Structure 1
């Protein structure tokens, strides 16, 4: 594609067969116009969690036109798909996210992820059987909210997968991704309405219940470990100042660096909400709107192969970061060998979930990053299968 190129193979690649790697890179470049077009099309028509009908269809169509066997509605999710090519003993899945953020569009750059994962699949397809690979691209909706990958994992979509990979655009380069575990909680208090002046004693104030809970959580924070976090917003708390509010609602999140800590943190936070219900005389309803997001666990071998391939392609040196985000790819990493590197897309200091990052996700720098990501992911899969290092064959699991 004019103006966009992928840097060449150096002499020090992770796999010994530079010819295979060069052919894979050429395959990515042969599809550059299609991949960049896919990224820009998804970027221009953002769709939020479980509403990604166009993005799923467009991504699946690119793969289907290249001979992939595509299953729409994978795992019972209408905006998911699974596309497969080859019949080798090592199955590698590339995860294609494509959901956007409400009100912000693709301020997390999932359009880049979808195109990069599709590109890795397209690049490997002609070599799949020769490398001993079964190549899968899994369309994964609802990463921002909804836990799409966790639902697909529970539905068996990742059964038989030996390794799962994806890349995420960012303001810096990483290989080993560290994430918080995340739990969500929807809170609803139901009280009893009454006139605030004529008969306040007949009411049960749901807004007061929410206030009591927030105070309790604020005090609880003083005793929480530094890596345990609680935050939320009130979404309803009455409609008229002269009527005792009969309903109040809020959405809360809890985070910890280890999935094992979520249960303990959740118990303490829920106790705050229950105590406020008792104090106010209101009914409490607590629901979990999505699966918990676990903490990400990198596979060291995959991370090492990816790092070597990224360096061979001339990507910037990676940095190590403390946990700063969450992903439902972490759930996959607890069941399947996985990596989730980040690529710098030249966002000029903008960070994900910022409108400026949304603009950066469809620039020539982002386009080049997605093509390079496709190459690196494909190379890493080839290395894992033993296609260029003397035929290690199926990795030990």
Structure 2
């Protein structure tokens, strides 16, 4: 298989470097998705583009006509202001490489393989929209690999809600007639304090964090508008729903106390937590070990969130990590700069092999697919 990996090396690494140097934020990944689709099409993979009602989504099909089907997911959106600080240019290139390799050995795979381009993971969550519209129904499993500073078999993503709270007051001169005003910033401050006071009384996996986006216009004017962005996370989706309602109550109480009004806008989709399938992780562990890639156990929680969590509620899903070096941390400028370095290039080639070998192992090992689904169903 390594010979096949090497045969696509130059094209896939050029794809990665192009995306790294031309970062596009979620929903606007026209250059990136177009480059991916052109490479897949060049090698004879039939691609639907756009796909799922999204202009920058796509789906390529390998082994069309087989009853079984598996999904390889590709991400390619960048972070605002940082570029590919999350490494999606490299993660997406890994998925494309795996698809190209599997297309060459498709006669050995008794299933359709779909390479699905999933836009806007960072903000709105393209996979959630796809999941809600049934596009992941019927898959045996889904897989992708994410860049990191460690090799790990599991991403303990938390369920996530994101909201923007706008508090509306009444402007007035802050020195001459402050009694005529209603202070929206005071409402925002009370709201932030109230959510801080929740922390003692929630489970240990909960993360509540936000910031004031707008706190007023001038020091001598009573702020008539204050805007807070707030994120609520926990392992369990039902518990996040409870916490979000509590946060809503905090906003209402802050508004009543300051005699202001408020409005709420949901930001993006609601992300589910990542379900863990240890029988699949064992297959991945054997592959990593055989490739001499040492893995660490990150435990059940990583603190982050991703829209692949919603896919993992529909079918067994896998989101292992591959390291580009322990000195790098995601969501940083340094991580983005490392995307065109040799160590990232090596991780892309290794990652493509891992996914291709995983797909082949699941379908080629007696009972492996059944084990994934027994665990998924809780049997």
Q: TM-score, normalised by structure 2?
A: 0.93
Q: Which residue of 2 aligns with 1:200?
A: 178
SS in 1 for 2:105: helix
Q: Which residue of 1 aligns with 2:316?
A: 337
Give the alignment of 1:321-336 within 5 angstroms. 321-324=299-302, 325-336=304-315
Q: Which residue of 1 aligns with 2:5?
A: 28
Q: Which residue of 2 aligns with 1:313?
A: 291
Q: Which residue of 2 aligns with 1:10?
A: none
Distance change in 2, residues 1:232/1:396 (3 Å): closer
Deviation per CA, 1:208-253: give whole Å up to 9, x if none. Answer: 1111111212222232222212110111111112222211101111
Give the alignment of 1:51-200 within 5 angstroms. 51-87=28-64, 88-200=66-178
Check conservation: 1:147, 1:291, Cα contact below 8 A: yes
SS in 1 for 2:344: helix
Q: Which residue of 1 aligns with 2:376?
A: none
Deviation per CA, 1:103-142: give whole Å up to 9, x if none. Answer: 1111111111110000111101132244212111111111
Counterpart pick for 2:225 among 247, 250, 255: 247
Distance 1:236 1:176 in 2: 37
Distance change in 2, residues 1:215/1:231 (3 Å): same
Distance change in 2, residues 1:180/1:245 (3 Å): same
Check conservation: 1:74, 1:152, Cα contact below 8 A: no
**Ranges in structure 2 where 5+ consecutive residues have no aligned partner:** 374-379
Deviation per CA, 1:255-275: give whole Å up to 9, x if none. Answer: 112222101111111111110
SS in 1 for 2:160: strand
Distance change in 2, residues 1:220/1:320 (3 Å): closer
Q: TM-score, normalised by structure 1?
A: 0.89
Distance 2:178 2:366 in 1: 80
C-alpha RMSD of the superposition: 1.8
SS in 2 for 1:361: helix
Distance change in 2, residues 1:336/1:225 (3 Å): same
Deviation per CA, 1:127-164: give whole Å up to 9, x if none. Answer: 22442121111111111111111111112322322110
